[in-house]
Structure 1
Amino acid sequence: MQSGNVTTPFGRRPMTLALVRRQIATTEIKPGKSADKWKVFRDVSEAREVLGLQDRSLAVLDALLTFYPDNELRQDAQLIVFPSNAQLTLRAHGIAGATLRRHLAILVEAGLIVRKDSANGKRYARKDRTGEIESAFGFDISPLLLRAEEFAQMAQQVAADRAALRRAKESLTICRRDVRKLISAAIEEGASGDWETIEEIYIGLVSRIPRSPTLGDVTSILDEMELLQGEVVNILEMQNKDENISTNDAHGERHIQNSKSDSIHEFEPSSGKEQGAKPADDDPPKREPIRNFPLGMILRACPEITMYGPGGTISNWRDMMAAAVVVRSMLGVSPSAYQEACEVMGPDNAAAAIACILEREGHIKSPGGYLRDLTRKAARGEFSLGPVLMALLRANGAGMQRAS
């Protein structure tokens, strides 16, 4: 294979160490390795955004591959193609000369091909007396064979990300529809609750959906939309329970006034040791893990903690936890109380709880005692950060609206 030597580009094209490494790498292809060139091309096409390629770049690569006579790229074959610009233009569907040169440079930069320039920059092959190619100058396509597995993995990951994005979009669409209709039904039927503020939060979430969202964008907004949905459903459920309790109380009063029991057994206390009685289950119910919320949502609900992060910013959970340690000390929360919260809630939720306490510092007399109380409730499965974050989001949203 004519790829054993490192050559520099012809003319004004600069030489870089990256080009040297790529040329050396082509000599390290495993003996006997082969790959279908069109399968590799399909993988590259699938992963074009990851590789930084454009549609025209793929058209040029497709044209280059047509000059390689076999369908299979082999380690022991001649993997240098040497078409002229005129031939490439013809097979690339009449692409302009300047555009052709630009996309050839993109393919080289992406590590898909390597230039093998002759002394005068021309592309040609020198043959021996038997007609076999002795040396060739043009474009070395051996990187496609070298990185065939890498391109296949890229293509699979891109396909998986696309499927995940599609599922996330579907979930967001359904959740968005449910929240919208629940809010509308609550307003139209006069359900009690601050529906105007909840609707403002909903509109704010919808307005944050970009025209071309990424998986991270959709996931973040979906988490907040699901939290809002849970809050709406919780309000409606509480109202329904209150109505049922009122109805049952009225029914119970009528039943007491009109009923007369003839059986004394109704007033006898039951014994757990009676024949056929099942022993009570003394095991406490298993506590479900507390849900983790997106960092972006917590920072929107609790913006005050941002200034305590490294450099006055919080960009990841490590920064958030570092800021929580600083705020814990500032609020006078003991290390033992914070450690207990981390063990029960988890480090992420404990840091979020500290952020919430900081946000409500003026309304909390004893931050340490308040955190211990939250920890005890969390241990019993009676505490969730969701309602707290929603309340802070509503408060911050209302405050911003008044300020504007």
Structure 2
Amino acid sequence: MESEAVTTPFGRRPMSLALLLKQRRGEAIAAGTTRNKWKLFRSVCEARAGLSVTDRALTVLDALLSFYPEDELSSEKGLVVFPSNTQLSLRARGMAAATLRRHLAVLVEAGLISRKDSPNGKRYVRRDRAGGIDEAYGFSLAPLLARASEIEAMAARLAADRQMLRAMKERLTICRRDIAKLLAAAVEEAVPGEWERISSLFHALLQRIPKAATLDNLPPILEKLETIRLNIINTLESHEKVQMASTNESRFERHIQNSNPESLSESEPGLETGQEARPDDQPSAELKNNGQGRREDGGQGLQAVPRTHAGRLKSFPLGKVLQACPDIIDYGSGGAIGSWRDLMAAAVTVRAMLRVSPPAYEEACSVMGPENAATVMACILQRGGCINSAGGYLRDLTRRAGRGEFALGPMLMALLRAKDTPIGMAS
């Protein structure tokens, strides 16, 4: 549909190049283009923010569409409606004439309708002898049909953004609840930690949550809150492991009576490639035979204690981890790492720096254990120049660890060899 005529405004309304351009764009409709007018109107409502129209202007557009006799807007048919001001006001919920004119101007400015003024400024139709429309003057819906694809795409994008923002707000609410209850539990159980500082940081972040949340201002705050939650969880889990280790040691002292304390293997774990129990697991009760071939327990033997966490990766001494991955020391508190807790805290900082998502790191901690997950993050940092996506690499290692196909030994050994450092890990 292409017209050579230019419709200039009636009365005192001036003509402009922008108005001419909007008229031409409204007339450039591809042949065969059709849309259900009410579905298209719904898309306009969903894309209202992007089209810069008000809800009152949409009420007027709704009224104009009701004067179009067909449900399908078609480029093959006339798209001009010509209601009188009285009828248009009634269908616009009794809107006053001055308000009606103002919102009609908004629709024209937004490029959703165009005016087709008659010589005297009135809206009417001239019919031919067969009763068909020969010429109509009023408001053309052609711009609305011409921009149908653009409006539908804009509506879909804005709907997706709203859904993403809603999901992000839900995550924020859950994260706030988790942090508040975990802090209360830590204080109640008297777990060692800098809970006052963490609580102050938490409340400071809550004060920064904007009233009008958007996809631009909400993600940074959410990421910091998730980091705080992960740090609290790691601290609580580390405390629980220390408690369990103390319980296990006291249990062994009660049940294992050995006259030769050096007969038990006390050596540090070596760089082995298979899946083993971690060093803090319960060791099996293995006794050496004496030189005469009899056991020192009088031949009765000891009942072996079954291992726990058999599916976890084997851990290595903190000193060897730092020897293989010295770069992570710079991210420790005060530029030093003196314990596994310091390493796990530094790993959380490195995770955020390498853009590894909190869910990916939490899954790694669940599958490998917090200490081993921190060790893997230290290795990823050390090999940063060779890894394109740290998050994808960590997820792959987590899946392999879950299947029993990954061990820390070869990774640490490779880093030690790359540094030409002697490997003296005891087996």
Could you say whether these structures have the same fold, taking a TM-score greater than 0.5 normalized by the shorter chain as the test? yes
Residue 241 of structure 1, CA deviation: 2.8
| Structure 1 residue 342, shift from structure 2 partner | 6.7
Q: Which moved more, 1:231-240 or 1:116-125?
A: 116-125
Going from structure 1 to structure 2, the CA distance change for 1:192 and 1:130 (only over 3 Å counts) comes to: same
Counting only pairs closer than 5 Å after superposition, residues 303-382 of structure 1 correspond to structure 2 as 343=385
Q: Which residue of 1 aligns with 2:102?
A: 102
User: For residue 277 of structure 1, what is the aligned residue in structure 2?
Assistant: none
CA RMSD of aligned residues (A): 3.6
Q: 1:341 to 1:6 in 2, by over 3 A?
A: farther
Q: Which residue of 2 aligns with 1:201?
A: 201
Q: Which amino acid aligns with 2:242?
A: D
Moved more, 87-96 or 250-259: 250-259
Q: Secondary structure at the match of 2:217?
A: helix
Residue of structure 1 equivalent to 2:147: 147
- Tell me: CA distance 1:182–1:263, structure 2 relative to 1, closer, same or farther (3 Å): same
Is the 2:187–2:195 Cα contact (8 Å) retained in structure 1?
yes
Displacement of 1:75 in angstroms is 0.9
Q: Provide the residue aligned with 2:126 in structure 1.
A: 126
- The whole-number CA distance in structure 2 between the counterparts of 1:230 and 1:105 is 54
Name the counterpart of 1:192.
192
Aligned positions of 1:214-253 closer than 5 A: 214-253=214-253
Report what 2:174 is aligned to: 174
For residues 142-197 of structure 1, the C-alpha deviation after alignment (integer angstroms, 9 at most, x for no partner) is 11211222222222222222222222122111111111100111112221111111
User: What is the SS of the residue equivalent to 1:187?
Assistant: helix
Q: Give the C-alpha shift of residue 109 in structure 1.
A: 1.6
Deviation of 1:126 after TM superposition, in Å, equals 2.5
Letter in 2 for 1:127: R
- The Cα shift of 1:248 comes to 3.9
Distance across 1 between alignment mates of 2:105 and 2:383: 56
The answer to whether the Cα contact below 8 Å between 1:35 and 1:74 also exists between their aligned partners in 2 is: yes
Note the alpha carbon deviations across 1:294-341, whole angstroms, 9 max, x for none: 99xxxxxxxxxxxxxxxxxxxxxxxxxxxxxxxxxxxxxxxxxxxx98
Partner residue of 1:157?
157
Q: SS where residue 181 of structure 2 aligns? A: helix
State the distance in 1 between where 2:129 and 2:38 align. 32
What residue identity is the alignment partner of 1:112?
L
> Retained in 1: the 8 A contact 2:354–2:390?
no
Is residue 64 of structure 2 the alignment partner of residue 26 of structure 1? no
The secondary structure found in structure 1 opposite 2:218 is helix
1:37 aligns with: 37
Structure 2 CA distance for partners of 1:16 and 1:236, relative to 1, 3 Å? farther
What does residue range 289-308 of structure 1 map to in structure 2 within 5 Å?
Answer: 291-292=351-352
Describe the SS at the equivalent of 1:137.
strand
Q: Following the alignment from structure 2 to structure 1, what is the Cα–Cα distance between the partners of residues 19 and 383?
A: 53
Distance 1:135 1:79, change over 3 A: same
1:371 corresponds in structure 2 to none
| Change beyond 3 A, Cα 1:49–1:245 | same
Structure 1 partner of 2:90: 90
Call closer, same or farther: CA 1:262–1:100 in 2, change over 3 Å.
closer
Letter in 1 for 2:180: R
Structure-2 change in CA distance of 1:293 and 1:55 (3 Å): farther
Q: Which residue of 1 aligns with 2:113?
A: 113
Q: TM-score normalized by structure 2? A: 0.60
**Residue segments in structure 2 that go unaligned for 5+ positions in a row:** 261-285, 297-313, 315-324, 326-346, 356-381, 392-410, 416-427
Deviation at 1:140, TM superposition (A): 0.8
**Contact 1:2 1:79 (8 Å CA) reproduced:** no
Q: Contact conserved, 1:2 with 1:136, CA < 8 A, in 2? A: no
Match of 1:212 in 2: 212
Query: Secondary structure of 1:134's partner?
Result: strand
Cα 1:258–1:175 change in 2 (3 A) is same
CA distance in 2, matches of 1:33, 1:119: 30
CA distance in 2, matches of 1:113, 1:164: 32
Count the aligned residue pairs: 291
Cα offset for 1:19? 2.2
For residues 249 and 294 of structure 1, do their structure 2 counterparts lie closer, same or farther at Cα, with a shift above 3 Å needed?
A: closer
Cα distance 1:84–1:8, how it changes in 2: closer, same or farther (>3 A)? same
Tell me if 1:76 matches 2:76.
yes
Q: Indicate the residue corresponding to 2:420 in structure 1.
A: none
Question: Which is helix-richer, 1 or 2?
Answer: 1
Q: Distance in 2 between matches of 1:3 and 1:99?
A: 31
What stretches of structure 1 of length at least 5 have no aligned partner?
Answer: 268-280, 282-286, 296-339, 350-375, 381-404
AA matched with 2:186? A
Q: Per the alignment, in what secondary structure is the counterpart of residue 217 of structure 1? A: coil
Deviation sequence 1:39-88 (CA, Å, 0-9, x none) = 11111112112212222111100100111111111112111112222221
